[in-house]
Amino acid sequence: MSKLRLDRLQRFQRILAENGFDCYVAGTPISMGYLAGFFEGGGERMLALFIRPEGDPAMIVPSLSRTHAETTGVVDIRDWRDGEDPGELFEQLAKEWGLTTAVIGVDDEIPAAILLRMQTALPAALFKAAGDLMAEARISKEAEELAAMREAAQVAEKAFDAVLPLLRPEMTEHEVTLLLQKAMLDQGGQPTFCIVASGANGAEPHHSSDETPLREGDVLVVDWGCSVNHYLSDITRTIALGDPGQEAKDVYSVVLEAHLAARNAIRPGVPAEEIDAAARKVIEDAGFGDRFIHRTGHGIGMMGHEPPMIVRGNAKPLVEGQCFSVEPGIYLPGKFGVRIENIVTVTSAGHESLNGEPPRELTVVAV
Q: How confident is the model at residue 2 (pLDDT cuts 50, 70, 90)?
A: confident
- Report how far residue 346's alpha carbon sits from residue 266's, in angstroms, rounded to the nearest whole number: 7
- Quote the percentage of the chain above a pLDDT of 90: 99
Task: Look at strands 297-299 and 329-332 and give their pairing.
Answer: unpaired
- Single-letter residue type at 330: I
- Report how far residue 281's alpha carbon sits from residue 147's, in angstroms, rounded to the nearest whole number: 33
159 backbone dihedrals φ, ψ, rounded to 5°? -65, -45
CB 173 within 8 A of CB 211: yes
Supply the pTM of this predicted model. Answer: 0.95
pLDDT of residue 1: 60
Angle 107-20-31 from CA coordinates, rounded to 5°: 25
Residues 6+ positions from 356 with CB-CB distance below 8 Å: 157
Judge if the upstream peptide bond of residue 328 is cis by omega within 30 degrees of 0. no
- Report how far residue 343's alpha carbon sits from residue 140's, in angstroms, rounded to the nearest whole number: 14
Q: Which CATH number fits domain 6-138: 3.40.350.10, 1.10.645.10, 3.40.50.2300, 3.40.1280.10?
A: 3.40.350.10
Closest by Cα among 175, 159, 263 to 212:
175
pLDDT tens profile 245-275? 999 999 999 999 999 999 999 999 999 999 9
H or E, element range at 339: strand 336-339
- Report how far residue 278's alpha carbon sits from residue 94's, in angstroms, rounded to the nearest whole number: 49
Q: Which CATH superfamily is domain 143-365 in?
A: Creatinase/methionine aminopeptidase superfamily (3.90.230.10)
pLDDT tens profile 311-338? 999 999 999 999 999 999 999 999 999 9
How large is the angle between the packed helices 131-138 and 6-18, nearest 10 degrees?
130
DSSP one-letter code for 289: G
CB 151 within 8 A of CB 225: no
Domain range list for the chain = 6-138, 143-365
